Amino acid sequence: MYNIIQNEWRVLIHNKRLISLLCIISVLLAVIAYFGVQDAKSSQDKKQLAKEQIRHQWENIGDYNPHSAAHYGTYTFKPTTALTALDNGINNTVGTVLQLEGHRQNEIIHSPDSQSLMQSRFGTLKPAVVLQFIIPLLLIFLAFASVSSEKEQGRLKLLYLQGVSTRKLLFSKTISYWLIGIVLLILSLGIQFLLFSNNSGQDLINRLLLIFLFYALFYWIVCSLTVYLSAALKNNTAALTSMLALWVLWSIFLPKLVGAFTEETHPLPSRQAFSAAMQEDRSKGIDGHNPLSEQEEKLKDSILQVYSVESVDDLPINFDGLVMQADEDFGAKVWDKHFGALDATLLKQKKTFQRSGLINPFVSLQSLSMGLAGTDNWHHTHFQQEAEKYRRVFIKTLNDHHAYGGSKTGDWSWTADQEFYNSVADFDYQTPIINKALPVYKTDMVFMGLWFFGSFLLLLIGNPKNTHL
Amino acid sequence: MNLLNTLRFEALHILRSTYKIIAILLFILVAVYGLHNGYSLYEERNNEIATIKETSQNLPNDALKWYETGQKGPEERPWVDVTTPFWAMWYANHQVIDAPSLLMTYSIGQAEQFAYYKRVSMWSTAYDKDLTAEISNPERVAIGSLDFSFVWLFLMPLLLIVLTYSIHGLERDLGFTKLLSVQEPNRKSWVAKRFIAIGVFCSLLLVILVVIPALLGGYLGSHSGTILLLTAYKFLYLAFWILLLAIISYFGKGQTDIALKMVGLWLVLTIVLPGLVHQFATLKQPPGFMMEYINAQREDREEIFDKELDSVKKIVFEAYPALRESKFAITDSLINQPARNGMYRTALNLHMNKVVNEILANHQSRNQLIRKTYFINPVMAFQNRINAIVETDFDTNQEYRKKIQDAATKINEQLLIDEWNAVQVDENHFRNYLNLLKEE
Amino acid sequence: MAYIPENVSLYPHLSGIENLDYFCKLASLKYEKNTLISFLNQCGLQEEAQSKKVAGYSKGMRQKVGIAIALAKNASVLLLDEPASGLDPSASSELSSLLKKLAANGTTILMASHDLFRVRETADRIGILNKGNLVKELDAKSVSANDLESIYLNFMKN
């Protein structure tokens, strides 16, 4: 087996066109891996700067009414993960800026794509684009003639005479091309790791290892199928055109088709319907600014009872703070319900999309790649939820201070001092470790495994036509 | 050989290959699906807009009822008084809508990234946080929408490759190029004619795919100019690919060699170059977080609101000289709270106009950079041109944002003048408010 | 002038008559379908095979289409490169009688071949080439096949 692989490579090395193509792709990979890291680093720096600026403004707010401060609010910027440099995922389409304020949950806005003309339809050229689209194509180019040309040039007889079995032939051919893919994979992941080594926690290593594993599996699937077709179809052209057709179907055609399809099977509400439904639920609760509702009366009575006083004016605390917090608590419940339903629909769409991995391992690869890089919707939603958790604590701190900070009910001009505002912690988001995201990607991993074993079995028990003498 | 015979034989070559027939059928299927996606987005938006137009009538209708009955507002909200300019303007409930172009069917473009309706009040700006796109699956959007422009700009070249890789390649592989030379010594013209024949087939397909939805939608006549322009660009794009592929075919060594080069070219033009340019532009002019807007909405706002009335008045009077004649300008001491508030609000609006213009200009400088790279990025050049024709591009949205900013300014101006003249709003005056944005 | 290579290749997915039609049109020759059929008949391609795809043709059948293409061109000179190699004996004999018929109609035919027997049968004049030089010219009728072989071998030895 080793001899065949060695021989295969000897032939490849003498093919000048091929070597120059490989060199071009390696250089391209290295350059864009470097660009990707630069881009991610500059984005991280910019966000850090913006974050510091916002915090600086907060720490210079001066004497300020706590509720005005809740309206003043704060901003948070979705952090750029290290592996954004590798796979941009959904980063171009989702926003980066989130305003955290009282009364309402905002959306993450200002996506990069919404800030300029359309720039590409397959995304920024990150290493993942090359690894997903270009390397498989390269492997097809390399391997489509691997067995058929042996047959055409009559070397097959010689190999058989030397005691090489069909199985051995197919496996050694597959391995020789697969290893080329692996080398290119290591090149780009290596650059990524080295340039980002300053913050290489265990999680980054785990993510990179998993990314390596699944790309390697995909390359194996592509190589073995190409080699098998080369051995099974009547000539080079047939093998090449079938693999090219498969590549187009897998990488270009099906993902878009299935993507559009999932939106029809699990439709999302329109923004109008969504906010109307949310407003409907919200209106059933306490309106923080319009203190006339029934619920508020109940709250008032219970508080008056606790402090055993007759009216809110006699309370030692500021009742407005309590009302606003009750409103917040209710709003949080409404948000959880509606956004929970939205997330559930999105997850259903994702699951439907992932199921197309049964006929299209490319989809599983793409999905896993952005998931592992932390640039998928799961990580995005995680950030959104953590930010909302922070917002609740943030607003509660302000409302509590409004209630218990020493002001009386109805006093909207009372101010808290800078020291209080400084004591309100900033939002520090930590990207979750990969183990938490893996359950979402079970389908992809299973399908990828199935395809790998399927292609392995094909080489093991397949008996393609061209290997007959 | 004349064109008609070339067409006949080219059709024979295609019809005798199941592979090619399947490719054509798949292409047509996806093209129809792409058109369907574009049209349903158009329908969806129209439905949303219809609902908005309907529900937005509720507030003005309420107000009109109160004018009739002499009420000032809803009973449960005693602070509302529609005879004051502020509340009257509030109940006028102005909506600024970016109606979808019918031609969205042909290219969804960037439409999905942007909001297309907004209630505009005296406080509105062009970058308000409620100006967010429809709820969508970000992963689906990242993979990209399947619209007709994707089909034509990205999949059509692939169809061309399937239909043409064997031109000159088959003859070379089977070794009858000599026989060919004996019969037709001019190889260049032979290759050219065959590619032109394929081009003719694809043009026919293009015309059918463009005209049929227009006929079904009944807008072929009303939009004929735009549709013609659109078709012309798509035809030009087809010619561009035919030329490139014909050159590869002429110099090709065989079917595999030609197929490899053609697919390689496709990869470079549709994925590598756009992606590389995208990365380059991102590094050169990174997308921002709208910090200038955030600061304007918080820091600058505070600053304006902390100013003395006189200094704010100076700025606003300069912008609206008509105010100098107003009731409160003449009898300075009587300035009431609404007039005061209006002054500060307008100062903020004027400031936001400036900030928004800066942001818009900033975006244009990024676009300038992108446009400069069109000569090495022809596919995206065509994409943006087509998006512009069907009004689903970035610039269309910029125009919409300008419209919002202008509307807010207009509302502010009218409101301020009325506030400074202490106008009592009656039904007639309210109707003027309702028509405030309609005049344009 | 027309040329027929050793191995005539045609569009495999087109029929014999379609191939003939195509190559005629390429040379700007316009023929009715009946004329095309008669060309193929002249070359001895069975009528039921004419509308079948070339992919199923034998080498001899393709050669007949090749000759028909040459014939249709009305060429006064016909060049043949090893036309008989790989043909079975009956196809080979058919070929030589076809060539004879063409020659009788006034076509000049130049045929390169290693099959001395067939050459002796078909040709009027025979030339022996050695390393690109014409070393001997003979009248075909003046020699027997055996003589031709010994003359040939003689030249090759030197």
| B410-434 pLDDT per residue, tens | 999 999 999 999 899 999 999 999 9
Distance (Å) from the alpha carbon of A347 to chain B's nearest alpha carbon: 9
Helical spans, DSSP H, in B252-336: 255-267, 273-284, 291-295, 301-306, 309-319, 327-330
Q: Does B37 touch chain A (CB under 8 A)?
A: yes
- Choose the most confident range, by mean pLDDT, from B334-348, C80-94, C112-126: B334-348
| B77-97 pLDDT per residue, tens | 888 999 999 999 999 999 999
Q: Does C13 touch chain B (CB under 8 A)?
A: yes
Residue B116 has pLDDT above 90, yes or no: yes
Residue B319 has pLDDT above 70, yes or no: yes
Query: Hey, what long-range contacts does B326-335 have (CB within 8 A, 24 or more apart)?
Result: B326/B417, B326/B420, B326/B421, B327/B420, B327/B421, B327/B422, B328/B420, B328/B421, B328/B422, B329/B420, B335/B309
Distance (Å) from the alpha carbon of B167 to chain C's nearest alpha carbon: 11
A227 contacts A233 by C-beta, under 8 angstroms: no
Contact A117 B294 (CB under 8 A): no
Which pLDDT score is estimated for A156? 80
| Among the partner residues C2, C10, C13, nearest to B176 by beta-carbon distance | C10
At least 3 CB pairs under 8 A between chains A and B: yes
Confidence of residue A290 (pLDDT cuts 50, 70, 90): low
| Among the partner residues B5, B179, B190, nearest to C3 by beta-carbon distance | B179
Which pLDDT score is estimated for B323? 87
| A25-52 pLDDT per residue, tens | 999 999 999 999 999 999 999 999 999 9
Average pLDDT for B382-410: 95
Confidence of residue B160 (pLDDT cuts 50, 70, 90): very high
The rounded percent of chain A whose pLDDT value lies above 70 is 97
Which pLDDT score is estimated for A199? 61
Confidence of residue A289 (pLDDT cuts 50, 70, 90): low
Contact B17 C13 (CB under 8 A): yes
Distance CA(B36)–CA(B44), nearest Å, equals 12
Distance CA(B209)–CA(A72), nearest Å, equals 53
Average pLDDT for B156-165: 96
Contact B182 C9 (CB under 8 A): no
Which pLDDT score is estimated for A293? 67
Average pLDDT for A273-278: 91
Which pLDDT score is estimated for A390? 96
**Other Cβ atoms within 10 Å of A457 Cβ, number:** 11
Describe the crossing of helices B394-420 and B378-389 by its angle, rounded to 10 degrees: 40
Chains in contact with C, counting 3 or more C-beta pairs less than 8 Å apart as contact: B
Residue A292 has pLDDT above 60, yes or no: no
In one-letter notation, the amino acid at residue B204 is L
Chain B: residue whose CA lies nearest to C9: B176
| A212-244 pLDDT per residue, tens | 999 999 999 999 999 999 999 888 888 999 999
Which pLDDT score is estimated for A360? 96
Distance CA(A246)–CA(A265), nearest Å, equals 26
At least 3 CB pairs under 8 A between chains A and C: no
Which pLDDT score is estimated for B439? 58
Distance (Å) from the alpha carbon of C79 to chain B's nearest alpha carbon: 11
Which pLDDT score is estimated for A458? 94
Which pLDDT score is estimated for C76? 83
| A392-447 pLDDT per residue, tens | 999 999 999 999 988 888 888 899 999 999 999 999 998 999 999 999 999 999 99
Which pLDDT score is estimated for C106? 85
Selected for mutation to probe chain B from A101, A256, A366 (highest B CB count within 10 Å) is A256
Which pLDDT score is estimated for A212? 97
Contact C9 B178 (CB under 8 A): no
- Tell which B residues from 338 to 397 touch A, by Cβ distance under 8 Å: 363, 366-367, 370-371, 380, 383-384, 387, 393-395, 397
Contact B179 C73 (CB under 8 A): no
Q: Does C12 touch chain B (CB under 8 A)?
A: yes
Token pair for residue A291? 């203190």
Q: Does B74 touch chain A (CB under 8 A)?
A: no
Q: Does B150 touch chain A (CB under 8 A)?
A: yes
Contact B283 A133 (CB under 8 A): no
Confidence of residue B171 (pLDDT cuts 50, 70, 90): very high
Selected for mutation to probe chain A from B48, B116, B139, B362 (highest A CB count within 10 Å) is B139
| B260-295 pLDDT per residue, tens | 999 999 999 999 999 999 999 999 998 888 899 999
Q: Does B175 touch chain A (CB under 8 A)?
A: no
Pairing verdict, β C108-112 and A97-100 = unpaired
Token pair for residue C22? 């195509």
The whole model's pTM is what? 0.92
Chain C: residue whose CA lies nearest to B179: C3
Average pLDDT for C11-19: 93
| Among the partner residues A43, A77, A125, nearest to B276 by beta-carbon distance | A125
| Among the partner residues A47, A120, A252, nearest to B275 by beta-carbon distance | A120
Average pLDDT for A259-282: 90
Contact C11 B182 (CB under 8 A): no
Q: Does B303 touch chain A (CB under 8 A)?
A: no
Which pLDDT score is estimated for B277? 93
Which pLDDT score is estimated for B270? 96
Contact A137 B387 (CB under 8 A): no
Which pLDDT score is estimated for A197? 64
Confidence of residue C117 (pLDDT cuts 50, 70, 90): confident
Buried b (16+ CB within 10 A) or exposed e, B208-230: ebbeebbeeeebeeebeebbeeb
Top pLDDT among A50 and A163 is at: A50
| Among the partner residues B1, B13, B176, nearest to C9 by beta-carbon distance | B176
Average pLDDT for B119-138: 92
Contact A57 B259 (CB under 8 A): no
Contact B183 C27 (CB under 8 A): yes
Residue B32 has pLDDT above 70, yes or no: yes
Confidence of residue B45 (pLDDT cuts 50, 70, 90): very high
Contact A114 B113 (CB under 8 A): yes
Q: Which residues of chain B does A376 touch, with a Cβ-Cβ cutoff of 8 Å?
A: 139
Residue A288 has pLDDT above 60, yes or no: no
Structural domains of chain C, with CATH: 2-118 (3.40.50.300), 124-158 (no CATH)
Bridge partners for B227 per DSSP: none
Contact C26 B170 (CB under 8 A): no
Q: What stretch of H or E contains C77?
A: strand C77-81
Which pLDDT score is estimated for A339? 94
Contact B380 A118 (CB under 8 A): yes
| Among the partner residues C9, C11, C23, nearest to B183 by beta-carbon distance | C23
Sign of CA dihedral B13, B18, B24, B27: negative
Distance (Å) from the alpha carbon of A26 to chain B's nearest alpha carbon: 14
**pLDDT, mean over chain A:** 90
| B208-245 pLDDT per residue, tens | 999 999 998 888 888 899 999 999 999 999 999 999 99
Token pair for residue C120? 């002796």
Residue A126: partners with Cβ closer than 8 Å, 6 or more residues away: A32, A36, A85, A86, A87, A88, B275, B279
Q: Does C133 touch chain B (CB under 8 A)?
A: no
Chains in contact with B, counting 3 or more C-beta pairs less than 8 Å apart as contact: A, C
Which pLDDT score is estimated for A445? 97
- Is residue C139 classed exposed, middle or buried when 0-12, 13-18 and 19+ CB atoms within 10 A define those classes? exposed
The rounded percent of chain B whose pLDDT value lies above 70 is 99
Top pLDDT among A79 and C74 is at: A79
Contact A137 B272 (CB under 8 A): no
Q: Does B38 touch chain A (CB under 8 A)?
A: no
Contact A115 B173 (CB under 8 A): no
Residue C85 has pLDDT above 80, yes or no: no
Chain C: residue whose CA lies nearest to B185: C27
Distance CA(B161)–CA(B193), nearest Å, equals 16
- Residue length, chain C? 158
Contact B179 C69 (CB under 8 A): yes
Contact B286 A133 (CB under 8 A): no
Selected for mutation to probe chain A from B43, B114, B289 (highest A CB count within 10 Å) is B289
Q: Which of the 8 DSSP states describes residue A107?
A: P
Average pLDDT for B126-137: 90
Residue A313 has pLDDT above 70, yes or no: yes
Which pLDDT score is estimated for B106? 94
Which pLDDT score is estimated for A250? 95
